Amino acid sequence: MSIIGFIGLGIMGRPMAKNLIKAGYKLVVYDKYAKFDDLVLLGAEGAASNREVASKSDVIITMLPNSPHVKEAILGENGIIEGVKDGAIVVDMSSIAPAASQEVGAALKAKGVAFLDAPVSGGEPKAVDGTLAIMVGGDRDTFEKAKPILERMGSSVVLVGGIGAGNVTKLANQIIVALNIAAVSEAFVLATKAGVNPQSVFNAIKGGLAGSTVMNAKVPMILDGNFKPGFRIELHIKDLQNALDTAHDLGVPIPLTASVMETLQALKVDGMAANDHSAIVRYYEKIAKIEVRK
């Protein structure tokens, strides 16, 4: 069985790594900013650098906040590229700019190392229970080699194209999620202001055409006033910025995305950057002077 290196043990990476340990994989772990004693207690080997992780692993997974962090971990000083073994596979599961994935993939290819970009969707709950949706960019042979490992972290693992295609797909996903939460927020603030019980509205429409996975996940949080992050507003800002930058580079107007981005920025200014993105509703609640609660 392959030895897996795992770099990036935050709100998503930590439960993903735990699922690999539960599946019987030997892990070598490292995070520049977070402690990982709990994973060592579960049987993982702790490392002192990204380079050390790579030198001891057959497959190296990174799960980091954004493009600069991924490039530093893989291409920087004491990075993966300095320690990676012949025949190893690097799988970046971060949500980053597609162009950054292609840059990293080209640098690793020049060293004879295979690369996949494999961002995920589902947030912390699905990271914990191992049912993430994983969208993968890369070549078919590398994908097939890595797929059994990815399937221990996700219930859906799909190859969508070459390197960078995984992150293009993730940007599309994040646009849809953000706009969906905004639409749900507008609708439920309207219903509540009109005097209709929001729980009743949810019960009435969730099984119809307006129903969605996003609605089912986020409306109960909104009704409870629970904005504990499964996916933080500041991270959605990062994803939408990558979407806007990519769209502008390609000459694709995305005005609805730009509008929701401004809503998220307003929430950040109000001190809600660390809240769950379901807190988009709080923007509408503020301007309508009403709260959507049970």
Mean pLDDT of the chain: 97
48-72 mean pLDDT: 97
Q: What is the mean pLDDT of residues 179-186?
A: 98
Q: What is the pLDDT at residue 230?
A: 84
> Cα(31)–Cα(267) distance, rounded to whole angstroms?
29
157-174: pLDDT as tens digits: 999 999 999 999 999 999
Q: For residues 145-173, b (16+ Cβ closer than 10 Å) or e, as one string?
A: bbbebbebbbeebebbeebbbbbbbbbeb
What are the CA-CA distances from residue 9 to residues 24, 61, 218, 237 (Å)? 18, 11, 25, 21
In order of their start, the domains of the chain are: 3-162 (3.40.50.720), 168-288 (1.10.1040.10)
**Percentage with pLDDT > 70 across the chain:** 100
For 72, the token pair is 């530093």
Closest CA to 98 of 234, 236, 235, 239: 239
Angle at 54 between CA 52 and CA 60, to 5 degrees: 135
Q: What are 100-159's pLDDT values in tens digits?
A: 999 999 999 999 999 999 999 988 889 999 999 999 999 999 999 999 999 999 999 999
Please pick, among 18, 170, 218, 238, the residue that the annotation labels catalytic.
170
* pTM more than 0.85: yes
HEC assignment per residue over 19-32: HHHHCCCEEEEECC
Mean pLDDT of 207-228: 97
Per-residue pLDDT tens digits for 243-259? 999 999 999 999 999 99
pLDDT score at 47: 98
Structure tokens at 101: 């994935």
Active site residue 109: no
CA 164 to chain centre: 15
**Token pair belonging to 234:** 């500041």
- For the four alpha carbons of 50, 53, 58 and 62, in that order, the dihedral sign comes to negative
The predicted model gives 263-279 an average pLDDT of 98
Residue 66 scores a pLDDT above 90? yes
- Tens digits of residue pLDDT in 22-52: 999 999 999 999 999 999 999 999 999 999 9
